[in-house]
Structure 1
Amino acid sequence: MIAPLAAPSPSAPAKAPYPLVSVRNLCKHYALRAGWGFGHSVFKAVENVSFDIMPNETLGLVGESGSGKSTIGRAVTMLNPPTSGVVAFEGVDLAEQSGRDMRRMRQRMQMVFQDPYSALNPRMTVGDYVAEPLVIHGLCKTAAERRDLVAELFSKVGLDPRFMARFPHQFSGGQRQRICIARAIGVRPSFIVADEPIAALDVSIQAQVVNLLQDLQEEMGLAYLFISHDLRMVRYLCHRVAVIWKGRIVELAPSAALYGNPLHPYTRRLLSAVPVPDPALERARTRLPEVAALPDDPLAHELVEAEPGHYVARAALS
């Protein structure tokens, strides 16, 4: 299986002595009931997923809808704990932490959700929303200090501090996402799970939010798990990319290697579906056919190193 996967691309930060986040054999299963309560089955949303994220690194997680991307993001942050497997943050197994210890850990790891409006509390001003984690973690001693810090966070994400007294419905989608980012970075985390943070935004606003994430990474030394189905943005933002298919990672490589030489048929099919901004080229393109499911043999799902730092499911190499 995967033994350290810390193989960043040439554009990635210098290699650190240990991973910031280490995930090993993560599984998330859901029990399903048949009609009228008779019988039951198990839905395996995520099965034996392993990867590392180094400090200051952005790992992209891509795949079609329903492949298990968001499930992994929630399991890594323990919002929806995994059924089995290990999630270690800064060398600490999160499953073994008490409620009090986990609260302290959450200050170091935050999450930005896909739908900013659902993440915001419509009954709270956005200033109070951003200030809430500061109160929970005791990072401000006085109300004036808290107000000044929230104003600084608003400025950092490109919003006018005078908007602090407004409510979520008074903002656009891009502004709401900036508010959610301000809340996430307010507690000075070292790791953020960004779960499709640009999916609901216009193209121009997407670029602004992605550039904001990059600027914050450089300024604060953040590491990201960037979950997205937008392969163009993933190529632009991420140092390494993991491709997930039916709950399993089938390919993991530095961004340049994965886009330049995709080894798994599913990865090639995903890349063939990316639209090209040229009508003539788009009409001439050939879409790759549906990929057959992997066999049930566990060895077929095992990731092997086909090239330096480039891992792919064993079945794709046979």
Structure 2
Amino acid sequence: MTARLSLGATPRPVISVRHLSKAYPLRVWWGGRGHVFQAVRDVSFDIAPGETLGLVGESGSGKSTIGRAVTMLNPPTAGTVAFEGTDLATLTPQAMRRMRSRIQTVFQDPYAALNPRMSVGAYVAEAFRLHRPEMAAQDRRDAVAQLFGRVGLDPVFMVRYPHQFSGGQRQRICIARAIALKPSFIVADEPIAALDVSIQAQVVNLLQDLQADLGLSYLFISHDLRMVRYLCHRVAVLWRGRIVELAESDRLYDDPRHPYTRRLLAAVPLPDPAAERARLAAAAPAPHGAGLPGDLVEVAPGHWVAAED
């Protein structure tokens, strides 16, 4: 089944995830047996060059866990993650450090990602200092100034500190750091969740422009279903740590097949109260019981749905 989740005749995937699972050990009481919490189980997907795959689901469904496992910030307990054909789990720490210049993450809280004791210019320049130690100090400053301009910030802001910026500006700084080393793949873990609505649109448009200019591939994790449809080429719906539906964005939104997907889309409010009540009344009941989603079945070309137990 997983072999057919690839994108057919498209180029080799930038990221190929197969049977990824992540378990966390629970507290072991004195004299008791150790137990684990299975946060993610048997997840498989590909991301093609220049593609954005959206990952949606309720809180606790395992979205951020997948994002951190794919980048090896929190390695999976089972399965494989291949970046441009290389299994990341087989790399030595030194090789993985070099590979991180090609794989970057933009986190949800930009203020927590920044160093409050370091100017934002020095923060962005750290990428060059660590991965390009041969660069002269002036060359690093020039490169950072160019990055600031590329993300819509005045280079004179380079000497300022994180507390002197708004949330949207901080996220632009984090994006500048992420693209500094010209990566191929970025995990955007709810990068707009902490921003005002007007600023969200600006950051999403910036991500689109950078993708067009640099050929980036994104794993875009978000709760905002409308923004996911706008930005993403394909969408994977996550429930209880497993993908229950995977399809092209428009197809999934126009023809959701899994009950959980339909309930998730029904949670997006409509401005018309009568239409909202009618839609909620017609929505499929929420999945129930303790059973886990079954294997994915292709119900239409490129449209995969988990079989119901």
Hey, what does 1:11 align to over in structure 2? none
Gaps of 5+ in 1: 9-14
1:40 paired to 2:34: yes
CA distance in 2, matches of 1:238, 1:92: 25
Hey, what does 2:275 align to over in structure 1? 281
Query: Once the two structures are aligned, what percentage of the paired residues are identical?
Result: 69
Would the aligned equivalents of 1:7 and 1:254 in 2 still touch at CA under 8 Å?
no
1:235 paired to 2:226: no
C-alpha distance 53-293 of structure 1, shift in aligned 2 (>3 A)? farther
Q: What TM-score does the superposition give when structure 1 sets the normalisation length? A: 0.92
1:295 maps to amino acid: G
Hey, what does 2:5 align to over in structure 1? 5
Hey, what does 2:94 align to over in structure 1? 100
SS at match of 2:13: coil
- Indicate which of 283, 287, 295 corresponds to 2:291: 295
- Indicate which of 163, 172, 175 corresponds to 1:169: 163
Would the aligned equivalents of 1:192 and 1:223 in 2 still touch at CA under 8 Å?
yes
1:292 maps to amino acid: H
Hey, what does 2:122 align to over in structure 1? 128
C-alpha distance 265-284 of structure 1, shift in aligned 2 (>3 A)? closer
Would the aligned equivalents of 2:68 and 2:74 in 1 still touch at CA under 8 Å?
yes
Hey, what does 1:255 align to over in structure 2? 249
CA distance in 1, matches of 2:139, 2:6: 40
CA distance in 2, matches of 1:70, 1:134: 27
Would the aligned equivalents of 1:140 and 1:146 in 2 still touch at CA under 8 Å?
no
Residue by residue over 1:86-140, the C-alpha shift from the partner in whole angstroms, topping out at 9 and shown as x without a partner, is 0000000000000111011111110000110100010000001111011111166
CA distance in 2, matches of 1:278, 1:156: 40
Hey, what does 2:24 align to over in structure 1? 30
SS at match of 1:40: coil
Hey, what does 1:79 align to over in structure 2? 73
1:4 positional shift? 3.6
**Any residues of structure 2 matched to 1:199-218 within 5 Å, and which?**
199-218=193-212
The aligned length equals: 307
Residue by residue over 1:14-49, the C-alpha shift from the partner in whole angstroms, topping out at 9 and shown as x without a partner, is x63211100000000011125557333110000000
C-alpha distance 263-71 of structure 1, shift in aligned 2 (>3 A)? same
SS at match of 1:286: helix
Residue by residue over 1:271-312, the C-alpha shift from the partner in whole angstroms, topping out at 9 and shown as x without a partner, is 00011233453355426443114635xxx5211111000001
1:304 paired to 2:297: yes
1:163 positional shift? 0.3
Hey, what does 1:111 align to over in structure 2? 105
Q: What TM-score does the superposition give when structure 2 sets the normalisation length? A: 0.95
4+ residue runs of structure 1 moved beyond 6 angstroms?
A: none
C-alpha distance 104-293 of structure 1, shift in aligned 2 (>3 A)? farther
CA distance in 2, matches of 1:307, 1:139: 50
Hey, what does 2:132 align to over in structure 1? 138
CA distance in 1, matches of 2:265, 2:259: 10
1:215 positional shift? 0.1
1:313 paired to 2:306: yes
CA distance in 1, matches of 2:243, 2:66: 11
Would the aligned equivalents of 1:294 and 1:315 in 2 still touch at CA under 8 Å?
no
SS at match of 1:159: coil
CA distance in 2, matches of 1:32, 1:283: 42
Would the aligned equivalents of 1:25 and 1:48 in 2 still touch at CA under 8 Å?
yes
CA distance in 2, matches of 1:57, 1:148: 30
Deviates more, 1:106-115 or 1:275-284: 275-284
2:299 maps to amino acid: A
Would the aligned equivalents of 2:259 and 2:286 in 1 still touch at CA under 8 Å?
no
CA distance in 1, matches of 2:252, 2:25: 35
